[in-house]
Amino acid sequence: MTFNYQAEQLHAEQCSLERLAQQFGTPLFVYSQQAILRNWQQFAAHWPAPHKLCYAVKANSNLAILQLLARHGAGFDIVSGGELARVLQAGGRAQDVVFSGVGKSHDEIAYALEQGIGCFNVESAAELERINDIAAAHQVIAPVSLRVNPDVDAQTHPYIATGLKANKFGIAMRDAKAVALKGQALKHIHMRGLDCHIGSQILTASPFLDAADRMLALVQELRAEGVAIDHLDMGGGIGIPYQHESQPDIASYLHILQQKAAAVGGLTLLLEPGRAIVGNAGVLLTKVEYLKPGEDKNFLLVDAGMNDLIRPALYQAYHDIVPVRQASGAASALVDVVGPVCETGDFFGHARHLSAQQGDFLAIMNAGAYGFTMASNYNTRPRAAEVLVQGDQATLIREREVLEDLWKGERLLPEERT
Ligand code: LLP
């Protein structure tokens, strides 16, 4: 266990979280290198070359984390030109990057081509034409895979389900053949493969395996039409336990996928895991500002807000909240843990049993994925600092924002004429 109590103090590896909170201030994201690499190995150990793992940058895009993963052989899945720039800045290679995303702009496509992107995951016939035109202007051939919507129910929160017909993502199954043949005919497109991504925080293998069956059938259909398909990207989406959910069996999912693909033959497989790599490797540390007894409820006001971690507000997501110092002396009470932002939705947990008093630190668990990357400056709050721990070493990997950062680029009006 990466986060555990030693002498009643919660630690990340060998670092006391109380000490980190005191040293770097709160709110503070703390990540464990050991946990990230252990999660990475859970995939890498069962995914022999030529198959590839492309870490989904949107889950946590801190340069140091991208650098760490690049050093361990990661490719990357990106959804914007900005994410590509981050990967390159962190020492990743463009050829190891797949570019997903439903609305790639002209400039993003041009930038990706200039850098030598590994593959575009194309979401529509119109995007295919746009990529072809830009590739022609650059006198290059664009490697392309078609993102198909396999129409399976991922059984997850509706905001993070992406593989149903009703979602905006991907090309409909019934149109895939026509778009693939079009791609085949376009001079500056190299049709490489197919991809899908059915959603996120999925806890059982069956939706993935249903999707794989449908995608493999399509591979065969397209090959019969003369489209050379040599890669299949099954996206990300493997969930983690936040509460009492059971951990999906990653090794067995990866093995079954490979068996299914081997039966069809000639396919390099790709996966785009995000949350499963970083989710449980990070916590958000926060300080108790006030205890506020209410008429119906008791509130524990903390210094982190929904601008730091929006998942509870946006998805009613559950995150465990634990005291950094056990047995602080305070009596256990039933509390709502809420932030300082002026929104009723600014909460981290309802009806939690916690014993804490003013000045105590709490850890909001499983905050490594979609925590900092979804943070904002709402209420003119500087974004938190980030620290990466390795053993007893803690490295500041992002400074806390200062107020001047927040109005950088804003302009006052000229003097008013009298
Ligand atoms: N590939 C594509 C094309 C994606 O859209 C995503 C996530 C991933 C890979 C990585 O999925 P993962 O392995 O992390 O589940 N903000 C939400 C999650 C949104 C996921 C969006 N797409 C949350 O906090 O739960």
Looking at residue 185, its pLDDT comes to 96
Strand 231-233 versus strand 321-323 pairing type: unpaired
Residues of the chain with CATH 2.40.37.10: 3-30+279-406
pLDDT in tens, 275-291: 999 999 999 999 999 99
Question: Residue with the nearest Cα to atom 23 of ligand 1?
Answer: 370
Preceding omega of 50 cis (within 30 degrees of 0): yes
Does residue 388 have its Cβ closer than 6 Å to ligand 1?
no
Residues of the chain with CATH 3.20.20.10: 101-271
- Per the annotation, the verdict on 119 as an active-site residue is no
DSSP tag of 120 = E
Which tokens go with 367? Answer: 């905050």
- The amino acid at 384: A
Helix (H, G, I), strand (E, B) or coil at 404: helix
> CA–CA separation, 340 vs 286, rounded Å?
12
For residue 295, pLDDT beyond 90: no
Strand 97-99 versus strand 52-56 pairing type: unpaired
Q: Which CATH number fits domain 3-30+279-406: 1.10.3210.10, 1.10.287.130, 2.50.20.10, 2.40.37.10?
A: 2.40.37.10
Average pLDDT over residues 177-199: 96
Helix (H, G, I), strand (E, B) or coil at 408: coil
Does residue 370 have its Cβ closer than 6 Å to ligand 1?
yes
> CA–CA separation, 377 vs 15, rounded Å?
29
Domain 101-271 coded CATH 3.30.530.20: no
Looking at residue 161, its pLDDT comes to 66
pLDDT in tens, 89-145: 999 999 999 999 999 999 999 999 999 999 999 999 999 999 999 999 999 999 999
Residue written as tokens 């002396």? 329
- pTM tops 0.95, yes or no: yes
CA-based end-to-end distance of the chain: 68
Determine the residue of 156, 201, 245, 275 to mutate for testing ligand 1's pocket, defined as the one with the most ligand atoms within 8 A of the Cβ atom: 275
What does the mean pLDDT of the chain come to? 95
Looking at residue 315, its pLDDT comes to 95
Strand 9-12 versus strand 15-16 pairing type: antiparallel
Looking at residue 388, its pLDDT comes to 98
Report residue 159's pLDDT band, with 50, 70 and 90 as the boundaries: low
Report residue 248's pLDDT band, with 50, 70 and 90 as the boundaries: confident
